[in-house]
Amino acid sequence: MNGVLIIDKSAGMTSHDVVNRVRRIVGQKSVGHLGTLDPMATGVLPLVLGNFTRLAQFYTASPKSYEGVIRFGFATDTYDAEGSPSSTAQAVSLDPEQVHSLAARFRGVIEQTPPPFSAKKVQGVPAYRLARKSKPVSLAPVQVEIKEFEILRVEGDCAAFRARVASGTYMRSVAHDMGQLLGCGAHLQSLRRTAVAEFTLADACTLEQLAAEEVEGRCVHPRKVLPEIPVVTANDEIVARVRSGRTVNLPELSRAPLVKVFYGQRELIAIASRVAGTLFHPKIVLASQALSPVRAT
């Protein structure tokens, strides 16, 4: 089976746990994800099946959207609610105006230090492995972009937020840094990912739903994948050339750097890149076997 599945991940599972569960449900090993989600977090986890795992290269820089809650009053070693307190707890009475003003300082391109419990590598070793052994973790600040960051409400010692960020941004670090700036400590109480690239919660299903229904019916329609890349529906001659990795002439797409090549409405054959003028060469081929007849939609 080739396709894209959007799982609404539950709390407590790693992204790898979800991949393994889906492998058992669909009965195939070729399953991958398009960006990890912390075990504590819930929400959108896009998975690619079969030959569609080759599409992962186009999602390495995908923006992500979140909703969550920051709790002020103490920090934790993991920067979230699953960690141990790393500062003395104190009573906090948040000023909504102050929290809104503070959030504005995190919008745009900023310098951010990743959490010590993260997959960032220190001399080739993931930081979380060092942190678990209580070894010192020194991570350099990196440049990230927070496209949107809005405080939705402030209640007691908690602030609910909505954010849209570039790839590589840690909302755990945002929470931790806000607590440091307020001088009271803070951590990420909860996090729900609502979108990755073009995939949203509206496309998602739980693992329980997936196990109880026809898997193919839960896959995202291939025409919705990578919507920024234009589409060409190829005839038999062009499809044959593309499947064999040969260059094709696509005069109607002379200015597009990339194009999705379809056979019929649902069979995504390849992603082709423009070589020169109207000539395109398959960048990745997703269907190398003989194709089935065009199906009605």
CB 3 within 8 A of CB 46: no
* Length of the chain in terms of residues written: 297
What's 123's DSSP letter? T
CATH number at 72 reads 3.30.2350.10
105 Cβ neighbours under 8 A, 6+ residues apart: 181
Q: Is 49 helix (H, G, I), strand (E, B) or coil?
A: strand
Say if residue 79 is in the same domain as residue 182: yes
**Residue 204 to residue 135: CA distance in whole angstroms:** 39
Tokens of 275: 């070589």
Specify which residues 158 forms β-bridges with: 71, 155
**Tens digits of residue pLDDT in 32-72:** 999 889 889 999 999 999 999 999 999 999 999 999 999 99
Say if residue 51 is in the same domain as residue 91: no
- Asked whether residue 290 is domain-assigned, the answer is no
For residue 38, indicate whether it is catalytic. yes
Say if residue 94 is in the same domain as residue 184: yes
Say if residue 87 is in the same domain as residue 72: yes
**Tens digits of residue pLDDT in 255-286:** 889 999 999 999 999 999 999 888 999 999 99
- CA distances, 168 to each of 62, 171, 191, 250, 277 (Å): 9, 10, 16, 36, 35
**Residue 83 to residue 70: CA distance in whole angstroms:** 14
Model-level pTM?
0.89
Say if residue 56 is in the same domain as residue 147: no
Quote the domain boundaries for residue 38: 3-62+198-220
- Asked whether residue 280 is domain-assigned, the answer is yes
Residues 8, 38, 157, 177: which is the catalytic one?
38
Extract the residue ranges of the chain whose pLDDT is less than 70. 117-138, 288-297
